[in-house]
Structure 1
């Protein structure tokens, strides 16, 4: 019996273990951190062996194949030992893809992928298709392949997941954009990150579709390098030759496979970035053969994504917006661009090699004050300190929200859009956003 070891027992690792055991593998799970109770229960119910708080080498290095959590760095000591002895290391998505013939709609990008993934899933569900939601959101793909029987999967993929995918095949691949992110994981080499994102189109055939933002300079520069076989479906802000969606006179036009249009004001999501998200989702549904009437209706009644420009409350004439999912500078740029009032911006956290020049002009134009929320705010002070804006340091969410409450004037907006990862003060960006909402509602 072949032995599979899963490193990391979060959503993807626990799901991979369930599928591995179901397929008859000798399965073992190891996590350097403590395993959440719900995942322990999932493993115990099935009699799957596990350990927490350590990696026991003699139980790991004898694996025939290892499934690695995307959160584990490629240079972790146990990973380097496995690589040195030639043990194959794959992602949970790669593993799950071996055991299903479902159509895969896969979405990646530096920004917008969660909203676009959720929107595509919403359209497919509304159309009555048998569809699962997986990847960075929803249940793990492996768990769903083991326990469900979907015809389609809509999957949000991070660069970390793509790193360990080799034979997986996306029937529809969506690349929203590429801006600097996670450079600390890629040797501070932008090309390494770009190459990871373009792995989404590996193994595509002429029958497959590649949807991408035509105006992204990095995508345009890199397109010719990767031997793309899928059919192109680019989207753009303006009508250009060959685009599958564009805007003109406050309408969104979809050109193929079936041509239709809708008023921009009918879209549930506002802002330029959400216009692109809606285009990518609409094209995906169009390719899948969903009726244009259904696509229009779903683009109109979508409720949005938690922690992404989420309106929390209005307190004494000040709007509070939770954009905790903005874990890179470009994401914050889109958030600031969409602000209609002067804004108190809360930013900071675990820096990933950020270049704040991208938001400098918007901060000068839109912001009335800055709150730096992090353990180490020196880089933020160095960059923004001479902008002439009031600045407050905070090392907890209650302190940040109280500072914002004191700083913001009636008619302004308080925006949590951190530009950074959350792991210095919070468990996750969800934890950060949830704490922000709770503090705001307690004002």
Structure 2
């Protein structure tokens, strides 16, 4: 008897899972409550996979041996609860795909910095000559890559939602960049639930595996005091010298693992800012564990081009620098952005609030921000938080309007920063769409 897999969601992870499940001989039913994009329908048709859109046929779904749900579907949805009550396993694409590869897996999670760290790690490993795939929240789906390529290594960017759906998934190297309140709407507004989700990345690791983490992050270090991890711990820190792991001394990164040392000047990194020094430490530690040559690691760090929509310099107009940081979808990411600003800043922010608390931004706003432009359907919370900090606070409803306003308010030597601190779904498709609209509006000035 063929096992039956039901796939909920017909996006990148759903269709990737379908491709792999087909290869592994499953009977497949794919169901999406919304509309499925044409490019994905074409793949499903080509592979002769049964699918439906804009509905969920329960008789088909409850007949499953296993269910893969896309990360966008919360665990609290009645159907997911009903499936679990019936004892039908509900897993993530990451869990499903990992069973079908013997590749070495590097899993990277954290509230911020995970995309940069993932791309940087992939960049170094590729430069080091490894057959390496990059998946998770970036690139083609992990399942699709497992089905179609035979990479010996995978670097996976993992969100808490993807980690919620794992049972046996075990990365050889796990990286936790930091933990700050985010997505609390999905975790009953309990920070501890979100923390537990992030630490799932290490739950199946053994003493032969590695756990790389930010030793300056109190949330992480406090959790480690009361919970035992099997993996070998490799911390990184900007604040103190470490016996094992990565630290900073006189603007030089020093990485110590397995009795060997790698050093690198921070001035050689293409990515500037404290948070990027940490991302570089994490990525270089991974590369060192995987025996990439020291020179290759240094050269890769110098040639890395950064991530679109993350502190991306767009244009200078009348000596005003426009910066696209649309990927900053939470307060902590925006904190890093404001911290790295020099000179006066016109700040564009707003969108869908995920339970944000703006207090930690107040000192930076007082110091660096001359005007705030709100870009969201409901800006009340932002107005209340920053109304007393800046002289100019304006509401806008479209990107072109926000950018034109910023152009008027900025003077020579200023920076215009899009760093929303919020999700984008009220006015845009996603943060990429928001970032592209910003860049287009700037180019049209």
TM-score range with shorter-chain normalisation?
over 0.9
CA deviation after TM superposition for structure 1 residue 383, in Å: 1.0
> Which residue of structure 1 lines up, in the alignment, with residue 280 of structure 2?
278
Task: Name the stretch that deviates more: 31-40 or 177-186.
Answer: 31-40
Root mean square deviation, CA, Å:
1.0
Aligned to 2:208: 207
Give the alignment partner of residue 319 of structure 1, picking from 318, 321, 338: 321
User: Which shifted more, 59-68 or 76-85?
Assistant: 76-85
In the alignment, what sits opposite 1:419?
421
User: Unaligned stretches of 5+ in structure 1?
Assistant: none
Match of 2:410 among 399, 408, 411: 408
1:188-337 residue pairs with structure 2 within 5 A? 188-257=189-258, 258-337=260-339
> Which stretch of the first structure deviates more once superposed, 244-253 or 349-358?
244-253
CA contact (8 A) 2:370 2:390 kept: no
C-alpha displacement of 1:271: 0.4
SS of match in other structure, 2:238: coil
3-state SS, counterpart of residue 257 of structure 2: coil
SS in 1 for 2:79: helix
Which residue is 1:343 aligned to?
345
Instruction: Indicate the residue corresponding to 2:375 in structure 1.
Output: 373
Matched residue SS, 1:440: helix
Q: 1:342-399: per-residue Cα shift (whole Å, max 9, x none)? A: 1111110000000001111111111010011000111111111122330111111111
State whether residues 346 and 371 of structure 1, in contact with CA within 8 Å, keep that contact through their aligned partners in structure 2.
yes
Question: For the residues of structure 1 that align with 2:211 and 2:382, how far apart are their CA atoms?
Answer: 38
Pick closer, same or farther for the CA change 1:429–1:373 going to 2, 3 Å: same
1:393 is matched with: 395
Q: How far apart are residue 224 of structure 1 and its match?
A: 3.3
Counterpart of 1:159?
Answer: 160
For structure 2, the residue ranges without an aligned partner over 5 or more in a row are none
Counterpart contact for 1:65–1:89, Cα < 8 Å: yes
1:363 equivalenced with 2:396 (yes/no): no
Alignment map for 1:61-76 (pairs within 5 Å): 61-76=62-77
8 Å contact kept, 1:238–1:248? no
Runs of 4+ in 1 over 4 A off after TM superposition: none
**In 2, distance between residues paired with 1:224 and 1:99?**
35
1:124 aligned partner? 125
- Who is 1:37 aligned against? 38
How far did 1:83 drift? Answer: 2.2
8 Å CA contact 1:347–1:371 kept in 2: the answer is yes
**What displacement does 1:226 show?**
3.5
Secondary structure of 1:133's counterpart equals strand
Cα separation, 2, equivalents of 1:135 and 1:226:
26
Q: Is residue 2:37 matched to residue 1:12?
A: no
Q: List per-residue Cα deviations over 1:221-254 (Å, max 9, x = no partner).
A: 0013442111111000034233411111121111
Per-residue deviation, 1:264 = 1.1
Counterpart contact for 2:372–2:390, Cα < 8 Å: no
Q: TM-score, normalised by structure 1?
A: 0.99
Match of 2:385 among 383, 386, 410: 383
1:171 aligned partner = 172
Is 1:234–1:242's contact at 8 Å kept on the other side of the alignment?
no
User: Is 1:56 paired with 2:61?
Assistant: no
State whether residues 216 and 239 of structure 2, in contact with CA within 8 Å, keep that contact through their aligned partners in structure 1. no
CA distance in 1 between partners of 2:32 and 2:316 (Å): 42
Q: Secondary structure at the match of 2:264?
A: strand
How many angstroms apart in 2 are the aligned matches of 1:33 and 1:435?
A: 25
CA distance in 1 between partners of 2:148 and 2:390 (Å)? 57
Q: Distance in 2 between matches of 1:407 and 1:63?
A: 58
- Following TM superposition, by how much is the alpha carbon of 1:7 offset from its aligned partner in structure 2, in angstroms? 0.5
Q: CA deviation at 1:52?
A: 1.1
Q: Judge conservation of contact 1:345–1:367 (CA < 8 Å) in 2.
A: yes
Contact 2:178 2:213 in 1 (8 A): yes
